[in-house]
């Protein structure tokens, strides 16, 4: 069936209605665009820029803005601008790391071993599945019922024969658990493996010092810290060699294609706010704790409870046993509260996420926890009144759904 084109005013009106939700507690999926990024992009949009690869003035104006954005992100991370490969986001950065390491090894006839975990982002799980089919041995770190890696398995798995690549999430996007990446990185690099971490959720919540973390590559995503969607980067330790996935002269030969100038401007402007976001992190943690306490009083079981140094402080992962998480999320949305049943990249499915299944197992009690698991995530733009309103709306919706469930079972 042919799709009829929609005029822009109508499309804009429809999008505005959908986006005009009273409370957004799904910040782990995407943060609101920071005013600094919005302003910088609006100002850049007034310029008649050329292709950044062109040598004339218009092209060099575009190039200057690309390098400005790269420089701001590099300064925020404390790295050299040349160490950053700008991408369209975290998914592309993850793919660049995986394919850049593994494709040359496979072409050389090696059968490498990759160490990852049972709770990686969907983009990494897709890569793992692809390389399994191509003969790569992919080993997964299991997790406990709080979502943390099982310590007793770490040393054994890191010592795997022909370990060539390690790819592990740092701050978990669904649970908020902070994983001990530095410990694994030290052990794996001493055996000659290249270590990559998905640092998407860490930006603005953890102090990122690549030299201290000890990894070779870090994935970053702009829209998780106030930049525009469709922007990101892969940091590479100096001397790290990856094969380009899409060859071209852009990005030092690592990523072909004309750069997203406006997006990179927004990414760079958002990076200038990272220090302020770190200052706000304790307040965000306090709000998250207030929210988690309120949800527990409604009968929600808080999951992934961790010590402060293993807790990002912005996610409340809660199970409402007896309720169906996708139905709860939809009802909350209609009530004016945005939350998520698992990560955004896995939402839309009726099955519990792979993360909750890995945490809770296949027993009846575990399945009930997984089916009712919802993620609330807090940002620096929230206030106490927002948290109180979110708790009140959740109380109304949970009460209504429980009454309906009881009536069905009567």
Q: Which residues are catalytic?
A: 345
Contact 250, 257 (CB under 8 A): yes
Burial classification of residue 223, based on how many CB atoms lie within 10 Å of its CB (0-12 exposed, 13-18 middle, 19 or more buried): buried
Instruction: State both tokens at 236.
Output: 């590479």
Can you tell me the distance from the alpha carbon of 68 to that of 61, in angstroms, rounded to the nearest whole number? Answer: 11
Can you tell me the distance from the alpha carbon of 54 to that of 59, in angstroms, rounded to the nearest whole number? Answer: 5
Degrees, nearest 5: CA angle 350-371-154: 105
Beta bridge mates, 217? 196, 236
> What stretch of H or E contains 202?
none
If we measure between CA atoms, which residue out of 205, 208, 219 comes closest to residue 379?
Answer: 205
Contact 158, 195 (CB under 8 A): no
Residue 100: CA count within 13 A, CB half-sphere? 27
Instruction: State both tokens at 303.
Output: 């999951």
Sheet strand arrangement including 137-141: 84-87, 232-236, 217-221, 194-198, 163-169, 113-117, 137-141
Can you tell me the distance from the alpha carbon of 260 to that of 44, in angstroms, rounded to the nearest whole number? Answer: 12
Distant-in-sequence, close-in-space partners of 69: CB < 8 Å, separation ≥ 6: 86, 264, 265, 266, 267, 268, 269, 271
């Amino acid at each position: 069936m042919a799709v009829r084109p929609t005029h822009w005013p109508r499309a804009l009106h429809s999008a505005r209605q959908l986006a005009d939700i009273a409370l957004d507690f799904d910040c782990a999926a995407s943060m609101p665009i920071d005013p600094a990024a919005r302003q910088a992009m609006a100002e850049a949009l007034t310029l008649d820029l050329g292709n950044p690869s062109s040598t004339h003035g218009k092209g060099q104006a575009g190039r200057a803005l690309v390098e400005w954005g790269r420089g701001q992100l590099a300064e925020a991370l404390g790295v050299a601008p040349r160490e950053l490969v700008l991408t369209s986001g975290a998914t592309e950065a993850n793919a660049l790391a995986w394919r850049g390491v593994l494709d040359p090894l496979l072409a050389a006839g090696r059968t490498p071993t990759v160490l990852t975990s049972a709770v990686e982002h969907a983009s990494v799980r897709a890569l793992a599945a692809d390389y399994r089919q191509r003969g790569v041995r992919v080993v997964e770190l299991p997790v406990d019922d709080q979502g943390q890696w099982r310590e007793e398995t770490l040393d054994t798995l890191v010592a795997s024969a022909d370990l060539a690549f390690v790819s592990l999430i740092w701050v978990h996007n669904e649970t908020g658990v902070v994983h001990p990446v530095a410990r694994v990185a030290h052990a794996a690099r001493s055996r000659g493996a290249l270590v990559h971490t998905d640092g998407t959720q860490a930006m603005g919540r953890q102090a990122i010092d690549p030299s201290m973390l000890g990894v070779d590559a870090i994935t970053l995503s702009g829209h998780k810290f106030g930049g525009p969607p469709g922007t990101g980067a892969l940091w590479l330790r100096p001397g790290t060699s990856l094969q380009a996935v899409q060859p071209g002269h852009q990005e030092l030969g690592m990523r072909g294609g004309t750069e997203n100038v406006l997006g990179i401007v927004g990414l760079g402007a958002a990076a200038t706010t990272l220090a302020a976001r770190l200052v706000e992190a304790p307040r965000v943690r306090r709000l998250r704790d207030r929210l988690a306490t309120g949800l527990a009083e409604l009968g929600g079981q808080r999951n992934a409870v961790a010590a402060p140094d293993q807790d990002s402080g912005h996610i409340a992962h809660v199970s409402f046993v007896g309720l169906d998480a996708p139905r709860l999320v939809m009802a909350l949305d209609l009530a004016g509260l945005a939350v998520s049943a698992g990560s955004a990249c896995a939402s839309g499915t009726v099955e519990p996420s792979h993360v909750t299944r890995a945490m809770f197992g296949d027993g009846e009690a575990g399945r009930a926890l997984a089916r009712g698991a919802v993620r609330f995530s807090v940002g620096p733009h929230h206030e106490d009144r927002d948290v109180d309103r979110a708790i009140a709306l959740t109380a109304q919706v949970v009460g209504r759904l429980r009454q309906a469930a009881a009536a069905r079972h009567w």
